Structure 1
Amino acid sequence: MVKILPSLLASDFTKLGQDIKKMEAAGADLFHLDIMDGQFVPNISYGLPVVEAISEVASLPLDVHLMTNDPGQFIDEFNRMGVSMISFHIEATNHPHRLMQYIQERGMKAGIVLNPHTPVSSIHHLLQEIDYILIMTVNPGFGGQKFINDGVEKIKMLNTLRQENSYGYEIEVDGGINDETASICKEAGADLLVSGSHLFKSEDWKAAVSRMKG
């Protein structure tokens, strides 16, 4: 069954701890944390102190998505906080294989993020060793955007490559995920679905998570 990852950037930061516990009770599987530096993407989200506070409250695994230049900068800090998964953009480093190994050597899962314009071919050399690939179905940096359908073809392509080569990576999707697009992504082969605005604005969080899981 597909796993649901609420994006905490869409939560109410005045009651973040309450939202975390409420979303855990609703049946979420992991929490997705978007880290933005205002350079790689034109927005700033939150940094290490907030991630540490989240780690102290949350009982679910944490999935950190680095939308930053120099994505290797704080890997050890995230590891100390107990983060389970870290993904970075292929464009953000000249040494993606080295960074992938650095993350994995510390006991965390390493992921590569593909922007809407980034082809799957750019990571062919990493597919045998990578733990997961995050397909962006919106342009990174802002929540609440409309789903970009071209991402579905990437999901299908990665799913086919996985089956043909017995690769072990998971396929994660982030951007414009609601009941309808969740179904489309699951059918294409996605394993992990990130949802922010749709989940947190739902009247019944448990029902919303359940519908997305299908």
Structure 2
Amino acid sequence: MNPLFPSILSSNFFNLEAKLHEFETSRIDFIHLDVMDGHFVDTISFGPGLARALKEKFHFRLDAHLMVSNPAKAIPHFIKAGVDWLSFHVETSGDTHGLLKMIRDGNCRAGLVLNPDTPLEQLRPFLSAVDYILVMSVFPGYGGQQFIASSLERVAQLKREISSQKSHCLLQVDGGINIDNVGPLREAGADLFVVGTSLFNADNIEETVKKFLNQMQWSQS
């Protein structure tokens, strides 16, 4: 699995199809969808219709990050749309274990998301119940933000906690990921990287993907 997850939030929708074809030739496996409801975060992005359209046109697997106040309402719609991975914020109220089960019952990988100012302790009860953790290295709501430097240590701490609990969950990072910080994040223990403007604004996506993978010392079989 290619560890780079391009985020459509950073795309120019007028040439999105062409960019996605470039990602196909670059052997990208996943596309990341930032779903925003205008309530949990100020921005409104897109809904399950986009996921459905992507599934009809392309062969990517889809990773949907729900930035919504009521994930219980949104989850069934995205399962029906065909997403493969589905995550929601630990900061939202509700039955976290029940929501994770709802996602898994829909044959999706289940993830939890952590904001930059949320204590890592809030994730500890769920590390054995999730398939992946998404660590936000910017505050959610907008693409193109600068990476928060303290996120590097948060990733390292969380990786140690995952190991101590003997959990098999993967560690994903999202926000300000670029060619300079992806290597240190990999060393700190991150497994997967949501990348926005650094990929979508690249003149040559295939070469940029290769540079990212080289920085991570990751080889694609």
Return the TM-score normalized by structure 2. 0.92
What is the identity, as a one-letter code, of the residue corresponding to 2:55?
S
* Counterpart position of 2:36: 36
Contact 1:17 1:54 in 2 (8 A): no
Provide the C-alpha distance between the structure 2 equivalents of 1:104 and 1:113, rounded to a whole number of angstroms: 16
Matched length: 214
User: Structure 1 stretch 72-81 or stretch 187-196: which is displaced more?
Assistant: 72-81
The 3-state SS of whatever aligns with 2:71 is coil
* Counterpart position of 2:84: 84
In the TM superposition, what is the alpha-carbon distance from 1:94 to its structure 2 partner? 2.0
What does 1:61-210 correspond to in 2, within 5 Å? 61-210=61-210
Contact 2:127 2:165 in 1 (8 A): no
Contact 2:2 2:28 in 1 (8 A): no
Percent same amino acid among aligned pairs? 37
What is the identity, as a one-letter code, of the residue corresponding to 2:93?
T
In the TM superposition, what is the alpha-carbon distance from 1:207 to its structure 2 partner? 1.2
**Structure 1 pair 60/2, CA: closer, same or farther in 2 (3 Å)?**
closer
Contact 1:173 1:193 in 2 (8 A): yes
What is the identity, as a one-letter code, of the residue corresponding to 1:181?
N
In the TM superposition, what is the alpha-carbon distance from 1:76 to its structure 2 partner? 2.1
1:49-78 C-alpha deviation (Å, 9 max, x unpaired): 222112212212100000111012132222
1:130-173 C-alpha deviation (Å, 9 max, x unpaired): 11000000010001100001111121112112223321100000
* Counterpart position of 2:24: 24
1:116-137 C-alpha deviation (Å, 9 max, x unpaired): 0011100111011111000000
Contact 2:48 2:81 in 1 (8 A): no
- Structure 2 gaps, min length 5: 215-221
* Counterpart position of 1:211: 211
**Structure 1 pair 91/165, CA: closer, same or farther in 2 (3 Å)?**
closer
Contact 1:20 1:57 in 2 (8 A): no
In the TM superposition, what is the alpha-carbon distance from 1:2 to its structure 2 partner? 6.2
Whether 1:57 aligns to 2:50 is: no
What is the identity, as a one-letter code, of the residue corresponding to 1:124?
R
- Structure 1 gaps, min length 5: none
In the TM superposition, what is the alpha-carbon distance from 1:15 to its structure 2 partner? 2.7
* Counterpart position of 1:15: 15
What is the identity, as a one-letter code, of the residue corresponding to 2:186?
K
User: Structure 1 stretch 1-10 or stretch 80-89: which is displaced more?
Assistant: 1-10
What is the identity, as a one-letter code, of the residue corresponding to 2:49?
P
Contact 2:131 2:168 in 1 (8 A): yes
Contact 1:135 1:174 in 2 (8 A): yes
Return the TM-score normalized by structure 1. 0.95
Instruction: Report runs of 4+ in structure 1 exceeding 6 Å deviation.
Output: none
Higher relative contact order (CA 8 A, sep 6+): 1
What is the identity, as a one-letter code, of the residue corresponding to 2:189?
G
Contact 1:138 1:148 in 2 (8 A): yes
